[in-house]
Amino acid sequence: MTSLDDLFKSHAGTKRKFENPIEADPSQAYKTVKLQGNDDVKQSAQAEDEEDDDEAGPALPPDLEDEGPGDDEEGRFFGGGLDENAKDAMDFLDAQDGEDTMREEKYDAAWVRKLARDFEKKVNKNASLRAKYESDPTKFMESEGDLDDGTKDLSILSEHAELYEEFATSTAAAKLVELLAHENTDIAIGATGIISELTDEDVAAEQEQWDALVAAFLEADLLSLLISNFSRFDEADSTDASGVYHSLSVIENLLSQPSNTDMIGKEKALLAWLLERIQKPEKPTTQNKQYASEILSILTQSSRPNRNIVAEANGVEVLLTSLAPYRRDDPEKDSDEEEYMENLFGVLTSVVEEPIGKAKFLEAEGTELCLLLVRDGKTSKNRALKVLDHACGYAEAPAQDGASADGATQPHIAVCEKLVEARGLKPLFSTFMKTKRPDPVQTEHILALFSSLLRSLPGNSDARFRLLAKFLENEYAKITKLLALRRDYSTRLAAFDHSLESRKSGLTREERAEMELENIPLRLSEGLYALQRIDATLAWLVAEDDGAKAAIVKGLAETDESLEGVKGTLKAQLDGALEVEAAEREVLEALVGFLD
């Protein structure tokens, strides 16, 4: 027997096609048909009127042209060939038609309640007919088409967000969500598309209006239904692929509100599906694979709980395996695959911020892979350096992850040790010392790695001695490079600060303080971040080796500077507006003491 989906697919004009994001803006990939007036009918009628005005044949003689209705001998005809009663009737109809043409739809609470009622009737009618004629789809096919049209009619709500709260109080909002479980996948996909459109960030809704609608959707079990549909859709079919896309779009819309991030991340079935989806072999990379990686990136970039969930779900190994091909092969520029790769690196960078992520990174030999990417990669090189930077960085670990009674090593220390053990110093310093058009992004990550390695590698360990030897070799060439960079970043930062001071002119003390706070991110990007990493490294070298200290003092003196400048940078970091964690504060205070 013919399947229900196949029968419905024959219903012309009710499906929305999945659009390729290469050809269209993804954020506009599903904009359903808006309610339209009778424009085509009006245009046709207007054309007929214009044709009637142009009478065929020669012009009438002057006497007939001027002849009025009273000249008719029988008194039955009045210009248009109609008797008086017929003419009155036609005038009345014409007047009514004119009023209908000019009447505009009033979008208010009454309108949205009617829209909701009409939609609910179509949902209930289809459900009733499906139950009654379960074995004979032809009996409910017409109601299926009506339901699809009724679902599309809800699209106009996106243009009247002021009515969202009214719609949210109706049962129609829950009915719309329930359609995600409809037996006909085309109906489910259409409903998903409408929910995506109504919750889109481009909708001009106030926060409370958007919140009210989303709350009604979530209360109707939106998330669970979206997730269950992922296993139901077959992406080999373009319509089902659009269903996956619109489902991901709804999730992205929900994530636009940061408070939803942890809540959505708790849906382990979603994270499991995302991790599975990004592994699916595809050539070329499809839009949905890229979109899955993007959702994963959003979920982990600002949520520690979500990062831990991904790490516990074997996510680090999945990410490393998926990134391994980019050691030698670059993705095509401006392609879905390039965005996919960027997203994977973003997720991995976020996850290795956490102690469990660092531990999983070590287990999966992530340090070794990233060093290979640094050595051989092109597009992937900077991204791999960023991952190593975050993996080696200090992270506050729970008691069970830190140095315990049995002497277990904290994860960030273990990553630093592995980097040296895996012969990572050579590619790191080789990249740092390149003189031909150095990449500023690479440089910042390497400077952060120097600071982290000196902070974390145990004293008197072989790994620490090997690191120090690199700074001391070739007559302190690396220290000379550090001092040159320090001058460059100091100059840039001074120029920015001078510009900032000029903009503070005439402001009150409160306004000046507010401007300084707002400009902290810009100061960091204009050289402060790199300067802090350099001066921390210099302070460590001063404390570690007398020869290095002499080289640093001499280099600073060449531009009339001294260790006081280095000390000032570290003290400013301690006293700055940005919070410094207790462990980091302890290290910085110790470094300041070395410079006294």
Model pLDDT for residues 240-288, shown as the tens digit of each residue: 999 999 999 999 999 999 999 999 999 999 999 999 999 999 999 999 9
Max Cα distance, the chain (Å): 128
Burial class (CB in 10 A: 0-12, 13-18, 19+), 172: buried
Percent of the chain with pLDDT over 70: 80
Counting Cα atoms < 13 Å in the Cβ hemisphere of 102 gives 6
Res 151: pLDDT: 95
Going from N- to C-terminal start, the domains of the chain cover 479-594
Burial class (CB in 10 A: 0-12, 13-18, 19+), 491: exposed
Res 573: pLDDT: 94
Q: What would the mean pLDDT of 97-118 be, rounded to a whole number?
A: 77
If we measure between CA atoms, which residue out of 147, 155, 90 comes closest to residue 121?
147
Helices 462-503 + 546-557 axis angle, to 10: 20
Res 51: pLDDT: 44
What pLDDT band is residue 92 in, cutting at 50, 70 and 90? Answer: low
How far apart are the C-alpha atoms of 496 and 518, rounded to whole Å? 14
If we measure between CA atoms, which residue out of 280, 273, 290 comes closest to residue 331?
290
The residue that leads in pLDDT, 311 or 596, is 311
Query: pLDDT tens-digit profile of 365-397?
Result: 999 999 999 999 889 999 999 999 999 998 765
The dihedral of CA 546, 552, 555, 558: what is its sign? negative
How far apart are the C-alpha atoms of 256 and 253, rounded to whole Å? 5
Instruction: Give the tokens for residue 418.
Output: 């592995």
If we measure between CA atoms, which residue out of 500, 394, 537, 373 comes closest to residue 442?
373
Are the C-beta atoms of residues 282 and 340 closer than 8 Å to each other?
no
At a CB cut-off of 8 Å and minimum separation 6, what does 221 contact? Answer: 177
What pLDDT band is residue 91 in, cutting at 50, 70 and 90? Answer: low
Could you check whether the bond before residue 284 is cis, i.e. omega within 30 degrees of 0?
yes
Query: pLDDT tens-digit profile of 383-439?
Result: 999 999 999 998 765 544 444 434 567 999 999 999 999 999 999 999 999 877 778
pLDDT above 80 for 485: yes
Residue found by looking up tokens 């904009």 in the block:
31
Are the C-beta atoms of residues 198 and 154 closer than 8 Å to each other?
yes
pLDDT above 90 for 104: no
pLDDT above 70 for 544: yes
Instruction: Give the tokens for residue 391.
Output: 């993996």
pLDDT above 50 for 469: yes
pLDDT above 90 for 1: no
If we measure between CA atoms, which residue out of 310, 302, 309, 301 comes closest to residue 343?
301
Are the C-beta atoms of residues 520 and 513 closer than 8 Å to each other?
no
Q: What would the mean pLDDT of 302-315 be, rounded to a whole number?
A: 95
How far apart are the C-alpha atoms of 290 and 277, rounded to whole Å? 9
Q: What would the mean pLDDT of 456-480 be, rounded to a whole number?
A: 96
Res 188: pLDDT: 96
SS (H, E, C) 323-354: HHHHHCCCCCCCCHHHHHHHHHHHHHHHHCCC
What pLDDT band is residue 86 in, cutting at 50, 70 and 90? Answer: low
At a CB cut-off of 8 Å and minimum separation 6, what does 528 contact? Answer: 489, 493
Burial class (CB in 10 A: 0-12, 13-18, 19+), 486: buried
Tell me the CA distances in angstroms from 454 to 169, 353, 393, 449, one per residue in order.
60, 18, 11, 9
Are the C-beta atoms of residues 216 and 238 closer than 8 Å to each other?
no
How far apart are the C-alpha atoms of 515 and 35, rounded to whole Å? 48
pLDDT above 60 for 236: yes
Query: pLDDT tens-digit profile of 286-297?
Result: 999 999 999 999
How far from chain centre, in Å, is Cα 52? 57
Query: pLDDT tens-digit profile of 147-200?
Result: 999 999 999 999 999 999 999 999 999 999 999 999 999 999 999 999 999 999
Residues comprising the chain, all counted: 596
Least confident of 35-39, 304-308, 551-555: 35-39
pLDDT above 70 for 33: no
Instruction: Give the tokens for residue 113.
Output: 């309640």
The residue that leads in pLDDT, 75 or 163, is 163
How far apart are the C-alpha atoms of 555 and 537, rounded to whole Å? 15
pTM above 0.85, yes or no: no
Least confident of 166-175, 472-481, 511-520: 511-520
How far apart are the C-alpha atoms of 49 and 44, rounded to whole Å? 9
At a CB cut-off of 8 Å and minimum separation 6, what does 349 contact? Answer: 383, 386, 387, 390
Are the C-beta atoms of residues 336 and 21 closer than 8 Å to each other?
yes
What pLDDT band is residue 95 in, cutting at 50, 70 and 90? Answer: low
Query: pLDDT tens-digit profile of 547-584?
Result: 999 999 999 999 999 999 999 999 999 998 888 888 89
Instruction: Give the tokens for residue 482.
Output: 């550090």
Res 76: pLDDT: 38
Mean per-residue pLDDT of the chain:
85
Per-position b or e across 307-336, b if 16+ CB within 10 A of its CB:
bbbbbebebbbbbbebbeebbeeebeeeeb
Secondary structure (3-state) at 131? helix
Query: pLDDT tens-digit profile of 496-509?
Result: 999 999 998 889 98
Instruction: Give the tokens for residue 300.
Output: 């982990």
